[in-house]
Amino acid sequence: MSGLDRARRVVVKVGSALVAGAGGGSADAAWLAAFAADAARLRARGQQVLVVSSGSIALGRRRLGLGRRALTIPEKQAAAAAGQSGLMRAWEEAFEPHGLAVAQVLLTRDDTEVRRRWLNGRATLETLLDLGVIPVINENDTVVTEEIRYGDNDRLAARVAQMIGADVLVLLSDIDGLYTADPRREPDARHLARIERLTAEIEAMAGGANAGAGVGTGGMATKLAAARIAQSAGCATVITLGTRPAPLKAVEEGERSTVIEPATTPAAAYKAWIAGSLAPGGALIVDEGAAQALGRGKSLLAAGVRRVEGRFGKGDAVVIRDEAGREVGRGLSRYDAADAERVCGLKSDAIEAVLGYTAGPLIHVDDLALADRAKA
Ligand code: GLU
């Protein structure tokens, strides 16, 4: 089971071969129209859809008359710049008949790896989704150099899925899933419908498969790398054939695909990340009432904070302690240390008068991982 019919948030990665088609000139409008109808069906059920679309380099190379020869890195970047606008126009036109607006989001690796930018990117994507828009995301190829690229949109899509807590990541491919060997060369290759754990043996199977795809950069190995990121973020990955007219519907109807199961839930993965892998930059000392409120699933309000210790920026991880010094939890602070200091002890509606802005609670419940003391 892919879980696609029940997912709240779905990220779909669309490769260059699908968007750009085989022919010359512009994007494959017929494929895009069919896909948009399929995605609009999910939207109509109240599900949120984000598209990660490749194709800027493939379209740009045609636009600039660069033929099929190997491109230098600056040429690729130039092609990406020339192709991205046509790519977005094609997406606009595809979703227009369904009354759905699209929004271009160009990310670089730092946007998903530097926490502050990550929080900004996440806030923008959340806002777009709340507004009912379909974000169409690509790597900002024009400004990234080879060393700092994601390099392929499979991994970019997995990072996006992680960033916004998606339930399902769909990687549309030129093959209907993962096989024990390349089925185009080995007729005995067996299709794998469901993978619970990504073992070394499975990764070995991906070697070489999909190598003939031609237009895009990602092969099956990068799809598994993406699936690994998604799996630990609590997101299922579906690898399926993108050339079907309604590839998402096909997955729901049980057509052949490979589902890689998540290892956790998106919320638990996010909390584990806050609790475990971030070095806290400071501490918020809270009163007993606040410590208990946190245990009941509330956000940390400024009113319950007695003292602020250490130096931290907006979005940094901080540790929350009670007045006896026991750890209550960890979370991401919505204010830097200086501003937190100025508002601690204040009621929420008094914050704006002091700071000139308000970012809501000091730590929102969604960005909070409780320690055992508060859970008890
Ligand atoms: N970002 C590249 C493009 O839009 C594609 C990378 C990929 O296909 O993996 O052309």
What's the pLDDT tens digit per position in 362-371?
Answer: 999 989 999 9
**Integer Cα distance of 311 and 371 in angstroms:** 22
Question: Which fold would CATH assign to domain 4-266?
Answer: Carbamate kinase (3.40.1160)
pLDDT digits (tens, 9 = 90+) for 130-162: 999 999 999 998 888 776 677 789 999 999 999
**Integer Cα distance of 139 and 156 in angstroms:** 7
How much of the chain, in percent, has pLDDT values that exceed 90? 66
Q: How far is the CA of 128 from the centre of ligand 1 (A)?
A: 22
**With the CA atoms of 4, 9, 15 and 16 taken in that order, what torsion angle do they form, in degrees rounded to the nearest 10?**
140
The one-letter code for the residue type at 155 is: R
Return the pLDDT at 375: 55
pLDDT digits (tens, 9 = 90+) for 191-205: 999 999 988 888 777
Return the pLDDT at 48: 98
In this prediction, residues 278-289 reach a mean pLDDT of 90
Q: How far is the CA of 42 from the centre of ligand 1 (A)?
A: 25
Q: Range(s) for CATH 2.30.130.10 in the chain?
A: 278-375
pLDDT digits (tens, 9 = 90+) for 285-325: 999 999 999 999 999 999 999 999 999 988 888 999 999 99
Q: Whose CA is nearest to atom 4 of ligand 1?
A: 54
Return the pLDDT at 211: 42
Return the pLDDT at 277: 64
Counting ligand 1 atoms within 8 A of each CB, the residue from 12, 13, 53, 54 with the most, and so the one to mutate, is 54
**Integer Cα distance of 320 and 283 in angstroms:** 6
Q: Whose CA is nearest to atom 9 of ligand 1?
A: 152
pLDDT band at 346 (very low <50, low <70, confident <90, very high): very high
Q: Range(s) for CATH 3.40.1160.10 in the chain?
A: 4-266
Q: How far is the CA of 108 from the centre of ligand 1 (A)?
A: 12
Ligand 1 proximity of 54 Cβ (cutoff 6 Å): yes
Return the pLDDT at 203: 79
Nearest atom (ligand 1) to Cα of 152: 9
Is the pLDDT at 376 greater than 70? The verdict is no
CB 205 within 8 A of CB 223: no
Counting ligand 1 atoms within 8 A of each CB, the residue from 14, 18, 141 with the most, and so the one to mutate, is 141
Ligand 1 proximity of 55 Cβ (cutoff 6 Å): yes
Ligand 1 proximity of 173 Cβ (cutoff 6 Å): no
Ligand 1 proximity of 167 Cβ (cutoff 6 Å): no
Higher pLDDT residue, 230 or 276?
A: 230
Is the pLDDT at 349 greater than 60? The verdict is yes
Q: How far is the CA of 253 from the centre of ligand 1 (A)?
A: 29
Pairing assessment for the beta strands 48-53 and 9-14 based on DSSP bridges: parallel
Nearest atom (ligand 1) to Cα of 53: 4
How much of the chain, in percent, has pLDDT values that exceed 70? 93
Return the pLDDT at 126: 94
Ligand 1 proximity of 141 Cβ (cutoff 6 Å): yes
pLDDT band at 129 (very low <50, low <70, confident <90, very high): very high
**Integer Cα distance of 236 and 196 in angstroms:** 10
pLDDT band at 350 (very low <50, low <70, confident <90, very high): very high
Q: How far is the CA of 272 from the centre of ligand 1 (A)?
A: 31
In this prediction, residues 39-46 reach a mean pLDDT of 97
Q: Whose CA is nearest to atom 2 of ligand 1?
A: 54
The one-letter code for the residue type at 46 is: G
Q: What is the mean pLDDT of the chain?
A: 89
Return the pLDDT at 52: 98
- The CATH architecture of the domain made up of 278-375 is Roll (2.30)
pLDDT band at 218 (very low <50, low <70, confident <90, very high): very low
Ligand 1 proximity of 217 Cβ (cutoff 6 Å): yes
Higher pLDDT residue, 2 or 65?
A: 65
**With the CA atoms of 11, 16, 18 and 24 taken in that order, what torsion angle do they form, in degrees rounded to the nearest 10?**
150
Ramachandran angles phi, psi of 280, nearest 5°:
-65, 140
Q: How far is the CA of 144 from the centre of ligand 1 (A)?
A: 12
